[in-house]
């Protein structure tokens, strides 16, 4: 009896928190996507009163608008592509780094981890503006790169306000979110397992692919989720660095709410984005399970 009360006491507050700040807002959003926009922004009333009494004032208009023009789906796909590219490069760069940190001496580990999280100590927007300067046409980086290209007989490139700038900065912003879960996983590996693998005939390459890598899969899943999902909704980075070509679906959603004042359409876009993200995560999980049962 007591243990049941304790269970409720422990799981109650977080469940309540999730209900109030996640489940209810999501339901409000779903509902909003089926409503009409108000005349001056916001939402039109749900109930309409006329001669026949009150009736529901709901519509599929927002979804019809989405599917009426492929440009929205294209923007969604582009966003997914950016997120995939970002996640891929974060993973490829973070894995060796996390491995290096996890395998270095205990004293040095803390210092290295501190360095990884150091960027969090300065403001997010300021860091993005810093990239604006780094990638700007006058910066030493851009000038140097273009000088090098001209030596090779290739034309000057512009970096600011391009998809390249957006993805580069997304990788920069998201990298720690890949390093930390990977490190947390790799640091727990029992070094005796690698000794055992080597003792039983595995070379360095085999030790990595047969032992370290499969054991780090939970860390990879966590890192991929932490990098991929936030990128889908991000708008600050493309706003500042993307120009017109680099915009993502987050920009459009923000625009619908703040500028076009079409809340129902903005809500519909958010819902579709969430559904797309869930579909992809579900598919990835299914694939992973299929592969797991093969081996």
Partner 1 sequence: MALLELRNIERHFGDFAAVNGVSMNIEQGEFFTLLGPSGCGKTTLLRMIAGFDSPQSGEILLDGKDLVSIPPEKRPIHTVFQSYALFPHMTVAQNIAFPLRMKKVSKEEISKRVAEALKSVRLGDRGGRYPGELSGGQRQRVALARALINRPRLLLLDEPLAALDMKLREQMQLELINLQKEVGITFIYVTHDQTEALALSHRIAVMNKGRVEQLDEPSNIYDHPKNRFVADFIGTCNLLPAAVSVTGEEKMVIEIEGLGDVAAKNPGRAHGSGTLALRPEKIRIAQKLEPGIEENHFRGTVHDFLYMGDVTVYIVEVGDGVHIEALLPNSAAGRPRILAAGDPVEISWRYDAGTFLNE
- Shortest distance (Å) from residue 185 CB to partner 1: 12
Distance CA 133, CA 121 (A): 20
Q: Which of 83, 175, 197, 247 contacts partner 1 by CB under 8 A? A: 197
- Shortest distance (Å) from residue 197 CB to partner 1: 7
Task: Indicate whether 294 belongs to the interface with partner 1 (CB under 8 A).
Answer: no
Q: Which of 199, 290, 291, 294 contacts partner 1 by CB under 8 A? A: 199
Task: Indicate whether 186 belongs to the interface with partner 1 (CB under 8 A).
Answer: no
Mark the segment that binds partner 1 (CB under 8 A) among 8-16, 31-39, 160-168, 199-207.
199-207
- 9 vs 200, beta carbon nearer partner 1: 200
- 9 vs 192, beta carbon nearer partner 1: 192
Task: Indicate whether 278 belongs to the interface with partner 1 (CB under 8 A).
Answer: no
Alpha-carbon 108 to chain mean position: 30
* Residue (of 254, 292, 286, 252) closest to 65 by Cα position: 252
Which residues face 287 on adjacent strands?
none
Task: Indicate whether 222 belongs to the interface with partner 1 (CB under 8 A).
Answer: no
DSSP class per residue in the chain? -HHHHHHHHHHHHHHHHHIIIIIHHHHHHHHHHTBPBPBTBSB--SEEEETTEEEE-B-SHHHHHHHH-HHHHHHHHHHHHHHHHHHHHHHHHHHHHHHHHHHS-HHHHHHHHHHHHGGGGS-HHHHHHHHHHHHSTTSHHHHHHHHHHHHTT------TTSHHHHHHHHHHHHHHHHHHHHHHHHTTS-HHHHHHHHHTT--HHHHIIIIIHHHHHHHHHHHHHHHHHHHHH--HHHHHH-TTTT--HHHHHHHHHHTS--HHHHHHHHHHHHHHHHHHHHHHHHHHHHHHHH-
- 84 vs 202, beta carbon nearer partner 1: 202
Mark the segment that binds partner 1 (CB under 8 A) among 153-161, 209-217, 232-240, 283-291.
209-217
Q: Which of 55, 210, 245, 289 contacts partner 1 by CB under 8 A? A: 210
Task: Indicate whether 198 belongs to the interface with partner 1 (CB under 8 A).
Answer: yes
- 139 vs 198, beta carbon nearer partner 1: 198
- 25 vs 292, beta carbon nearer partner 1: 292
Those residues whose C-beta lies under 8 Å from the C-beta of residue 256, and which sit 6 or more positions away, are 262, 263, 265, 266, 269
Task: Indicate whether 3 belongs to the interface with partner 1 (CB under 8 A).
Answer: no
Mark the segment that binds partner 1 (CB under 8 A) among 5-13, 21-29, 135-143, 210-218.
210-218
- 25 vs 214, beta carbon nearer partner 1: 214
Q: Name the residue with tokens 């727990």.
A: 188
Q: Which of 9, 192, 293, 294 contacts partner 1 by CB under 8 A? A: 192
Task: Indicate whether 184 belongs to the interface with partner 1 (CB under 8 A).
Answer: no
Task: Indicate whether 195 belongs to the interface with partner 1 (CB under 8 A).
Answer: yes
Q: Which of 41, 133, 206, 286 contacts partner 1 by CB under 8 A? A: 206
Task: Indicate whether 288 belongs to the interface with partner 1 (CB under 8 A).
Answer: no
Interface ranges with partner 1 (CB under 8 A): 190, 192-193, 195-203, 206, 210-211, 214-215
């Amino acid at each position: 009896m007591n243990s049941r009360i304790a269970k409720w006491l422990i799981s109650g507050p977080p469940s309540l928190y999730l209900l109030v700040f996640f489940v209810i807002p999501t339901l409000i959003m779903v509902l909003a996507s089926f409503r009409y926009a108000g005349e001056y922004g916001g939402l039109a009333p749900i109930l309409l009163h006329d001669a026949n009494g009150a009736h529901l004032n709901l519509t599929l208009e927002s979804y019809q608008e989405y599917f009426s023009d492929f440009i929205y789906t294209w923007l969604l796909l582009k966003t997914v592509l950016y997120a995939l590219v970002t996640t891929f490069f974060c993973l490829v760069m973070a894995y060796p780094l996390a491995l290096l940190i996890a395998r270095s001496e205990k004293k040095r580990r803390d210092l290295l981890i501190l360095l990884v999280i150091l960027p969090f100590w300065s403001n997010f927007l300021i860091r993005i503006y810093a990239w604006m300067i780094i990638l700007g046409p006058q910066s030493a980086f851009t000038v140097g790169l273009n000088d090098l290209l001209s030596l090779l007989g290739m034309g000057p490139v512009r970096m600011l306000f391009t998809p390249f700038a957006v993805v580069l900065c997304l990788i920069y912003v998201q990298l720690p979110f890949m390093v930390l879960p990977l490190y947390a996983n790799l640091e727990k590996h029992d070094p005796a397992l690698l000794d055992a693998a080597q003792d039983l005939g595995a070379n360095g390459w085999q030790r990595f692919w047969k032992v370290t890598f499969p054991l780090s899969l939970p860390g990879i899943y966590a890192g991929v989720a932490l990098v991929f999902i936030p990128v889908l909704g991000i708008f600050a980075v493309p706003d500042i660095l993307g120009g017109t070509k680099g915009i993502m679906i987050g920009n459009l959603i923000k625009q619908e709410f703040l500028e076009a004042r079409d809340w129902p359409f903005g809500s519909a876009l958010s819902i579709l984005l969430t559904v797309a993200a869930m579909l992809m995560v579900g598919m990835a999980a299914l694939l992973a399970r299929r592969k797991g049962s093969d081996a």
